[in-house]
Amino acid sequence: MTAIRFLAERPGAAHRLVLFPHAGGSASFYRAWAADRPDTEVLAVQYPGRADRLAEPLAHHMAELAAEAADGLGRLADGRPTTVAGHSMGAVVAFETVRLLEAEGHGVRRLVASASRSPLDPGHVSALGTAWDDEAAVSSLAAMGQTDPELLADPRVRAFLLPYLRADFELFQRYTYLPGPPLRCEVLAVHGDDDPHVPAARGALWRDVTTGPFAHAVLPGGHFYFTGRPPVGLFLGELEEVRAR
Protein backbone atom coordinates (compact mmCIF):
# COMPACT_ATOMS: atom_id res chain seq x y z
CA MET A 1 0.00 0.00 0.00
CA THR A 2 1.29 3.46 -0.82
CA ALA A 3 2.34 5.66 2.10
CA ILE A 4 0.72 8.83 0.74
CA ARG A 5 -2.70 9.98 1.95
CA PHE A 6 -4.58 12.91 0.42
CA LEU A 7 -6.05 15.06 3.19
CA ALA A 8 -7.30 17.56 0.60
CA GLU A 9 -7.03 16.44 -3.02
CA ARG A 10 -7.00 19.64 -5.07
CA PRO A 11 -5.62 18.97 -8.56
CA GLY A 12 -6.01 22.63 -9.53
CA ALA A 13 -4.20 24.00 -6.47
CA ALA A 14 -1.02 25.97 -7.12
CA HIS A 15 0.96 24.40 -4.27
CA ARG A 16 1.39 21.06 -2.53
CA LEU A 17 2.12 20.45 1.16
CA VAL A 18 3.34 17.02 2.32
CA LEU A 19 3.33 16.30 6.07
CA PHE A 20 5.31 13.65 7.99
CA PRO A 21 4.07 12.62 11.48
CA HIS A 22 6.03 12.40 14.71
CA ALA A 23 6.99 9.10 16.39
CA GLY A 24 3.78 7.22 17.16
CA GLY A 25 1.78 9.54 14.91
CA SER A 26 -0.33 8.87 11.84
CA ALA A 27 -1.52 10.79 8.80
CA SER A 28 -4.82 11.69 10.49
CA PHE A 29 -2.90 13.83 13.00
CA TYR A 30 -2.75 16.49 10.28
CA ARG A 31 -6.39 16.37 9.14
CA ALA A 32 -7.20 19.88 10.41
CA TRP A 33 -4.24 21.30 8.47
CA ALA A 34 -6.11 20.84 5.19
CA ALA A 35 -8.91 23.28 6.06
CA ASP A 36 -9.22 26.71 4.48
CA ARG A 37 -6.34 26.26 2.05
CA PRO A 38 -7.99 26.16 -1.40
CA ASP A 39 -4.68 27.11 -3.00
CA THR A 40 -2.84 24.10 -1.53
CA GLU A 41 -3.19 20.36 -1.99
CA VAL A 42 -2.43 18.74 1.38
CA LEU A 43 -1.02 15.22 1.76
CA ALA A 44 0.33 13.25 4.70
CA VAL A 45 2.52 10.18 5.00
CA GLN A 46 1.12 7.07 6.69
CA TYR A 47 3.84 4.97 8.28
CA PRO A 48 3.26 1.18 8.22
CA GLY A 49 1.84 -0.63 11.24
CA ARG A 50 -0.80 1.93 12.23
CA ALA A 51 -4.22 3.28 11.25
CA ASP A 52 -5.23 1.88 7.84
CA ARG A 53 -1.84 0.13 7.58
CA LEU A 54 -2.17 -1.64 10.93
CA ALA A 55 -1.82 -5.11 9.40
CA GLU A 56 1.51 -4.26 7.73
CA PRO A 57 4.89 -4.92 9.36
CA LEU A 58 6.42 -2.00 11.22
CA ALA A 59 9.45 -0.31 9.67
CA HIS A 60 12.75 -0.89 11.46
CA HIS A 61 15.00 1.56 9.63
CA MET A 62 14.62 5.21 8.69
CA ALA A 63 15.70 4.40 5.15
CA GLU A 64 12.62 2.19 4.71
CA LEU A 65 10.24 5.03 5.56
CA ALA A 66 12.11 7.53 3.40
CA ALA A 67 12.35 5.24 0.37
CA GLU A 68 8.65 4.39 0.50
CA ALA A 69 7.64 8.05 0.84
CA ALA A 70 10.01 9.16 -1.93
CA ASP A 71 8.62 6.52 -4.25
CA GLY A 72 5.04 7.64 -3.62
CA LEU A 73 5.84 11.32 -3.99
CA GLY A 74 7.96 10.73 -7.08
CA ARG A 75 4.97 9.10 -8.75
CA LEU A 76 2.85 12.15 -7.95
CA ALA A 77 5.41 14.75 -9.06
CA ASP A 78 3.77 17.16 -11.51
CA GLY A 79 5.93 20.27 -11.33
CA ARG A 80 3.92 22.07 -8.67
CA PRO A 81 5.93 23.81 -5.93
CA THR A 82 6.04 21.34 -3.05
CA THR A 83 6.76 21.92 0.63
CA VAL A 84 7.73 18.84 2.65
CA ALA A 85 7.31 19.23 6.41
CA GLY A 86 7.93 16.85 9.29
CA HIS A 87 7.42 17.13 13.02
CA SER A 88 9.92 15.72 15.54
CA MET A 89 11.05 12.30 14.20
CA GLY A 90 9.04 13.12 11.08
CA ALA A 91 11.43 15.97 10.29
CA VAL A 92 14.31 13.51 9.90
CA VAL A 93 12.19 11.15 7.79
CA ALA A 94 11.22 14.15 5.65
CA PHE A 95 14.88 15.18 5.33
CA GLU A 96 15.93 11.73 4.13
CA THR A 97 12.96 11.67 1.74
CA VAL A 98 13.92 15.01 0.21
CA ARG A 99 17.49 13.75 -0.23
CA LEU A 100 16.14 10.86 -2.29
CA LEU A 101 13.76 13.06 -4.26
CA GLU A 102 16.52 15.50 -5.19
CA ALA A 103 18.79 12.64 -6.22
CA GLU A 104 16.01 11.39 -8.52
CA GLY A 105 15.45 14.82 -10.06
CA HIS A 106 12.24 15.59 -8.18
CA GLY A 107 13.28 18.77 -6.43
CA VAL A 108 11.04 20.35 -3.81
CA ARG A 109 10.58 24.00 -2.92
CA ARG A 110 11.15 23.67 0.81
CA LEU A 111 11.84 21.33 3.71
CA VAL A 112 10.27 22.37 7.04
CA ALA A 113 11.89 20.80 10.10
CA SER A 114 9.51 21.17 13.04
CA ALA A 115 10.57 20.51 16.64
CA SER A 116 13.61 18.49 15.66
CA ARG A 117 17.36 18.67 15.94
CA SER A 118 19.34 18.55 12.73
CA PRO A 119 20.61 15.14 11.59
CA LEU A 120 24.04 16.81 11.46
CA ASP A 121 23.78 17.55 15.21
CA PRO A 122 25.81 14.85 17.03
CA GLY A 123 23.30 14.91 19.91
CA HIS A 124 20.10 14.67 17.91
CA VAL A 125 19.34 11.07 18.91
CA SER A 126 20.79 11.08 22.43
CA ALA A 127 18.45 13.97 23.26
CA LEU A 128 15.64 11.40 23.36
CA GLY A 129 17.44 9.07 25.77
CA THR A 130 19.13 5.77 25.13
CA ALA A 131 16.74 3.13 26.45
CA TRP A 132 13.08 2.40 25.83
CA ASP A 133 10.76 2.52 28.82
CA ASP A 134 7.00 1.92 28.42
CA GLU A 135 6.02 4.09 31.38
CA ALA A 136 8.27 6.96 30.26
CA ALA A 137 6.82 6.77 26.75
CA VAL A 138 3.25 6.94 28.05
CA SER A 139 4.14 9.82 30.38
CA SER A 140 5.79 11.64 27.50
CA LEU A 141 2.68 11.30 25.34
CA ALA A 142 0.50 12.67 28.12
CA ALA A 143 2.91 15.55 28.84
CA MET A 144 2.91 16.55 25.19
CA GLY A 145 -0.85 16.98 25.42
CA GLN A 146 -1.63 14.86 22.39
CA THR A 147 -3.33 11.95 24.19
CA ASP A 148 -5.81 11.89 27.07
CA PRO A 149 -4.00 10.60 30.21
CA GLU A 150 -7.11 8.64 31.24
CA LEU A 151 -7.13 6.95 27.86
CA LEU A 152 -3.47 6.04 28.23
CA ALA A 153 -4.24 4.37 31.57
CA ASP A 154 -6.44 1.83 29.77
CA PRO A 155 -4.40 -1.40 29.30
CA ARG A 156 -6.16 -2.07 25.97
CA VAL A 157 -5.11 1.33 24.60
CA ARG A 158 -1.55 0.87 25.83
CA ALA A 159 -1.36 -2.57 24.22
CA PHE A 160 -2.44 -0.98 20.94
CA LEU A 161 -0.14 2.07 21.04
CA LEU A 162 3.06 0.82 22.61
CA PRO A 163 4.24 -1.58 19.88
CA TYR A 164 4.53 1.09 17.20
CA LEU A 165 5.70 3.74 19.66
CA ARG A 166 8.49 1.36 20.66
CA ALA A 167 9.28 0.58 17.02
CA ASP A 168 9.51 4.29 16.14
CA PHE A 169 11.77 4.99 19.12
CA GLU A 170 14.09 2.14 18.25
CA LEU A 171 14.07 3.10 14.57
CA PHE A 172 15.15 6.61 15.50
CA GLN A 173 17.83 5.30 17.85
CA ARG A 174 19.29 3.26 14.99
CA TYR A 175 19.36 6.21 12.61
CA THR A 176 22.78 7.46 11.55
CA TYR A 177 23.27 10.31 9.13
CA LEU A 178 25.27 9.18 6.11
CA PRO A 179 27.30 11.99 4.49
CA GLY A 180 26.19 13.05 1.05
CA PRO A 181 25.49 16.12 -1.08
CA PRO A 182 23.65 18.89 0.80
CA LEU A 183 20.09 19.70 -0.14
CA ARG A 184 19.44 22.41 -2.71
CA CYS A 185 15.99 23.44 -1.50
CA GLU A 186 14.95 26.06 1.03
CA VAL A 187 14.95 24.91 4.65
CA LEU A 188 12.81 26.34 7.45
CA ALA A 189 13.44 25.18 11.03
CA VAL A 190 10.64 25.80 13.54
CA HIS A 191 10.27 24.90 17.21
CA GLY A 192 8.70 26.08 20.45
CA ASP A 193 10.57 28.29 22.89
CA ASP A 194 9.74 25.87 25.72
CA ASP A 195 10.72 22.68 23.90
CA PRO A 196 13.25 20.81 26.09
CA HIS A 197 14.37 18.68 23.14
CA VAL A 198 15.32 21.53 20.78
CA PRO A 199 17.19 24.50 22.26
CA ALA A 200 17.35 27.47 19.88
CA ALA A 201 21.04 26.98 19.09
CA ARG A 202 20.36 23.36 18.13
CA GLY A 203 17.40 24.20 15.93
CA ALA A 204 19.56 26.66 14.02
CA LEU A 205 21.92 23.85 12.98
CA TRP A 206 19.47 22.90 10.24
CA ARG A 207 21.08 25.64 8.15
CA ASP A 208 23.97 23.28 7.48
CA VAL A 209 21.88 20.69 5.60
CA THR A 210 21.35 22.86 2.51
CA THR A 211 23.04 25.21 0.10
CA GLY A 212 19.67 26.89 -0.40
CA PRO A 213 18.05 29.70 1.60
CA PHE A 214 17.46 29.09 5.33
CA ALA A 215 15.26 30.59 8.04
CA HIS A 216 14.69 29.72 11.70
CA ALA A 217 11.50 30.50 13.64
CA VAL A 218 10.94 30.09 17.39
CA LEU A 219 7.29 30.19 18.46
CA PRO A 220 5.64 30.22 21.91
CA GLY A 221 5.02 26.73 23.26
CA GLY A 222 6.54 23.35 23.87
CA HIS A 223 7.27 20.34 21.68
CA PHE A 224 3.78 20.54 20.17
CA TYR A 225 3.83 24.34 19.95
CA PHE A 226 1.14 24.37 17.24
CA THR A 227 -1.63 22.62 19.23
CA GLY A 228 -4.93 24.14 18.14
CA ARG A 229 -3.35 26.43 15.55
CA PRO A 230 -1.79 24.63 12.57
CA PRO A 231 1.05 26.89 11.28
CA VAL A 232 0.34 26.24 7.61
CA GLY A 233 0.76 29.90 6.70
CA LEU A 234 4.21 29.97 8.31
CA PHE A 235 5.27 26.72 6.65
CA LEU A 236 4.26 27.99 3.20
CA GLY A 237 5.09 31.70 3.55
CA GLU A 238 8.11 33.52 2.22
CA LEU A 239 11.35 33.02 4.16
CA GLU A 240 12.00 36.77 4.11
CA GLU A 241 8.88 37.23 6.24
CA VAL A 242 10.14 34.62 8.72
CA ARG A 243 13.50 36.37 9.02
CA ALA A 244 11.75 39.68 9.60
CA ARG A 245 9.74 38.40 12.58
Q: Is 88 a catalytic residue?
A: yes
Which residue in 26, 88, 114, 140 is the catalytic one? 88
Q: What is the 3-state secondary structure (H, E, C) of the chain?
A: CCCEEEEECCCCCCEEEEEECCCCCCHHHHHHHHCCCCCEEEEEECCCCCHHHCCCCCCCCHHHHHHHHHHHHHHHCCCCCEEEEEECHHHHHHHHHHHHHHHCCCCCCEEEEECCCCCCCCCCCHHHCCCCCHHHHHHHHHHCCCCCHHHHCCHHHHHHHHHHHHHHHHHHHHCCCCCCCCECCEEEEEEECCCCCCCHHHHHHHHHHECCCEEEEEECCCCCCCCCCCCHHHHHCCHHHHHCC
Angle between helices 134-143 and 155-174 (to 10 degrees): 100
Instruction: State the catalytic residues.
Output: 88
